[in-house]
Structure 1
Amino acid sequence: MAITFSQNFRQLAGHDKGRRWTAARAAVLLGGCAALGFAGFSAWRIGAQVEGDRGIPPLANSEDIQVNGIHVDVSGKTGAEARIEGWKQAEKEAWKKLGGPDMPVEAIDAMVSSVVIGQEQVGPRRYIATLGVIFDKGKAGQFVGGSGAVVRSAPLLLVPVLNSGGVQQVFEVRGPWQKAWAEFQASQSPVDYVRPVGAGGESLLLTAGQTTRRSRLWWRGVLDQFNASDVLIPVARLERQWPGGPIHGTFTARYGPDSSYLDSFELDAANEQELPAMLAKAVERIDDIYRGALSSGQLHPDPTLTMSQVALDRAFGELRSKLMPQGGAVPGGSIAPATPVAVPSEPAPAAAAAESVTVQFASPDAGAVDAALAAVRGVPGVRGAATVSLAIGGISVLRVSAEGGADRLAAALRAQGWKVSAGGGALRISR
């Protein structure tokens, strides 16, 4: 039995095939657009992590004498006159706090370089404010401030951690704790604070999670970025009773890569308007804690962070000798002692000259940095290896001093299971 198809059926089948082909092309195009959109969204998210108005530059340190936290409440014929009178009253109170001799207000005003306004309210005939007064050291130093050189600490990186609402942050947003430390006049303290701005890549490098890491190799790379010897970690925990209501703060002074505890205290603020004043007071008290630790000899750079490269290489060599002993175990049974054979002595070969080699590797996290450093330093003949560029989530760079140069180093790393490629005068290693 013969089966025939009409012309209309064949045309319909051809149209259906064309529809299927069109649908497949549309699916491919939609898939490509989705991939491009996802890539663009990922790039936007990465850019959003480092962009934005999040950094607060710290106040420039000066050697002038500053007195903060002076409250004035003055009345006058006009608001402007009350303000001027309030500033004069603040200058007199600040001079009294410094223990200066009795002087007319005009003489005190001549030594004032600036007045810092914390908070102020100007009415038609009343002025209420919290002020700070800065005296010129060249003029006021002969009366107050003492003389002699002040022994300062080593440069210490400051990482202020704020815990509020169950979220820990450092530089991710413009927080009040970071602002309080940025406004602190650190020149009057013997503690040499290194205060990051918190903008750009610093918000990715210095996070609350960084303070929980214990790797000395990782901390050395971070501290080298800021030319610091150790780290200080002041922690502020804020608990709000209700929105706009009282705020309870618990402040803890910690230091070092192990986040060692020094001291803690508690303060309260009646509302959000009093929060800046509470945080400013907390900064001064934490600075007093660090001062006491410095004078008692407790606040000194961790020796595991400042030890020389030679000491680190020696420590890695000892660890390698313990983990990989030379030779194998001799099975049970008596073995006749070998007869000593006289062998003519030969001069020991001269040590090969060390060459500088640049090694690049992907560093998505701290573990990758530690693994690459341990692998390179474990190669026989490597005299030293140091991180010259640290890029988390990117490509980091090591500067290696190795006997035999790049060829011998590459062969040893391949024996450890690393993929090694050479180009541009550097080695690129990966797992």
Structure 2
Amino acid sequence: MKSFRRLPALAALLLLMLAAGGVVYAQLEGADRGVPPIDSANTLEVTGIRVDVAADTSEKARYEGWRQAQLKGWKALWAKTNGRPQSEAPSLSESALNAMISGIIIEDEQIGPKRYVATLGLLFDRARTGQLLGISGPVRRSAPMLVIPIMITGATPYSFEYRNEWQKAWARFRTGNSPIDYVRPAGSGIDPLLLNPSQTRRPGRGWWRLLVDQYGAADIVVPEVHLRRLYPGGPAIGIFTARHGADNVMLDRFTLRAGNSSAIPRMLDEGVRRLDIIYARALGAGLLKPDPSLITQEPEIVEELEEADDDAVTPISTPIQPVPIGTASSFTIQVETPDAASVGQAELSVSRIGGITSAITTSLALGGTSVMKVTYMGDADALRSALQAQGWNVQGSGSSIRISRGGGGQ
């Protein structure tokens, strides 16, 4: 009987522990998402500079190694930019190199008592180096490309659902030297919900238009890696695929191998570098053009000319609603959105109204009621009349309005 009397207390303690665990899990889940990408628009990068230096002390060997890496890095950058041999690169003084270099990346190093062996990367300041290379300012050649990195382990694909090594590799990739204008989401907030593996397999343009507009892009690239581990902690094989566009077109594919689990991040970095080369090659071949179907265009007003007599014609045009004169007011419009296409159609229909300066969906509910924030140069009565003229059934008063289709169509 004593054990039965303790049941309510034990149940309450168990519920308290579960509740506390849920709070901790929610905090960890929120903290385990999002990797801010590195801003490298103002730098030029050279990687893979190997040095092997011996000196009286380890400090002297390291200093001499970094000094040699600066010279080798400058020659490699000049040769890569101009497409000529490194031997033709102009000689620069050590003080000039020190002024041009904004950072040194240690890819791998081994320090001995009197020896320094390392693989280094160098970051050159674009403003100070551009004149010697014949370039100036950030280079932007492609249209903005929204990046959705997909990683497959086992049989499970994922993107921003949780922080992973593939997302980290794309976040630390320095895009200053790339001709592709990558738009790299951090993976926080609503990113995991919108940019998921299922979305990359969806060919419909309605939802894609909303996404590229939301992230300020013109098209999509989907770099994909299928990671296969032979056994835990052992070798791993990565199959990398470069995909592009809403139709998920495959541009190229290659395979890399990591000797053990600790080498996987380096393999993924090399995969990102090679995928960037594939996308750059596709851009040069004209295969990375923005998809016109992803650009939402406002309908043009077509004027028809009807001949009245031999010498005169009378233009017949679609009547345009007059723009009301008044102060700007904010309104909340609730609209039924059964699918993704209806969201864009509702925004387009509302934005056509004269006096509307902005119409943005702030709360999205597919299959339910979405909320749109509208700025209108006029009062509520004028806005309701304008919505009815667009074929909407209008309910509500003041700054809160609900619209729906049905009955009197557009």
Same fold per superposition (TM over 0.5): yes
Which residue in 1 is equivalent to 2:118? 129
Give yes or no for contact 1:63–1:188 (8 Å, CA) kept in 2.
no
SS of residue paired to 1:187:
coil
* Pair 1:190-2:185 in alignment: no
Which residue in 2 is equivalent to 1:63? 42
C-alpha deviation, 1:132, in angstroms: 0.9
1:220-273 deviations in whole A, cap 9, x for unaligned?
Answer: 222222211111111111111111222211111112122122112111121223
Alpha-carbon spacing, 1:183–1:283, altered in 2? closer, same or farther (3 Å): same
* Pair 1:279-2:268 in alignment: yes
Amino acid at match of 2:288: L
* Pair 1:300-2:300 in alignment: no
Give yes or no for contact 1:171–1:206 (8 Å, CA) kept in 2.
yes
Alpha-carbon spacing, 1:357–1:65, altered in 2? closer, same or farther (3 Å): closer
Give yes or no for contact 1:65–1:145 (8 Å, CA) kept in 2.
no
CA–CA distance in 1 between the matches of 2:331 and 2:129? 56
Q: Which has the larger radius of gyration?
A: 1
CA–CA distance in 2 between the matches of 1:206 and 1:82? 48
Which residue in 1 is equivalent to 2:384? 406
Which residue in 2 is equivalent to 1:222? 211
C-alpha deviation, 1:276, in angstroms: 2.4
How is 1:215-254 mapped onto 2 (pairs within 5 angstroms)?
A: 215-254=204-243
C-alpha deviation, 1:421, in angstroms: 4.3
CA–CA distance in 2 between the matches of 1:82 and 1:421? 78
Amino acid at match of 1:85: E
Alpha-carbon spacing, 1:105–1:391, altered in 2? closer, same or farther (3 Å): same
CA–CA distance in 1 between the matches of 2:116 and 2:319? 83
Which residue in 1 is equivalent to 2:310? none
SS of residue paired to 1:389:
strand
Q: Tell me the percent identity.
A: 39
Which residue in 2 is equivalent to 1:177? 166
* Pair 1:359-2:365 in alignment: no
Which residue in 1 is equivalent to 2:399? 425
C-alpha deviation, 1:208, in angstroms: 1.7
| Two-structure CA RMSD over aligned residues (Å) | 4.4
How is 1:80-95 mapped onto 2 (pairs within 5 angstroms)?
A: 80-95=59-74
1:63-115 deviations in whole A, cap 9, x for unaligned?
Answer: 33210122334444433333222222322321232232244656534432221
Which residue in 1 is equivalent to 2:372? 397
CA–CA distance in 2 between the matches of 1:170 and 1:264? 19
Alpha-carbon spacing, 1:178–1:74, altered in 2? closer, same or farther (3 Å): farther
C-alpha deviation, 1:158, in angstroms: 1.3
Give yes or no for contact 1:79–1:124 (8 Å, CA) kept in 2.
yes
CA–CA distance in 2 between the matches of 1:181 and 1:114? 20
* Pair 1:96-2:85 in alignment: no
1:396-421 deviations in whole A, cap 9, x for unaligned?
Answer: 427699xx95368569556xxxxx74
Q: Select the residue among 256, 275, 279 that pairs with 1:267.
A: 256
CA–CA distance in 2 between the matches of 1:265 and 1:130? 24
CA–CA distance in 2 between the matches of 1:88 and 1:350? 72
Give yes or no for contact 1:358–1:397 (8 Å, CA) kept in 2.
yes
Q: Which runs of 5+ in 1 are unaligned?
A: 1-26, 28-32, 315-346, 415-419
1:326-346 deviations in whole A, cap 9, x for unaligned?
Answer: xxxxxxxxxxxxxxxxxxxxx
Which residue in 1 is equivalent to 2:145? 156
CA–CA distance in 1 between the matches of 2:342 and 2:127? 54
C-alpha deviation, 1:174, in angstroms: 2.1
C-alpha deviation, 1:126, in angstroms: 4.0
Alpha-carbon spacing, 1:301–1:176, altered in 2? closer, same or farther (3 Å): same
Alpha-carbon spacing, 1:82–1:222, altered in 2? closer, same or farther (3 Å): same
How many residues are matched?
357
SS of residue paired to 2:142:
coil
C-alpha deviation, 1:308, in angstroms: 0.7
Give yes or no for contact 1:373–1:385 (8 Å, CA) kept in 2.
no
Amino acid at match of 2:41: S
CA–CA distance in 2 between the matches of 1:399 and 1:50? 34
In the superposition, the TM-score normalised over structure 1's length comes to 0.68
Alpha-carbon spacing, 1:424–1:156, altered in 2? closer, same or farther (3 Å): farther
SS of residue paired to 1:283:
helix
C-alpha deviation, 1:159, in angstroms: 1.2
Which residue in 2 is equivalent to 1:341? none
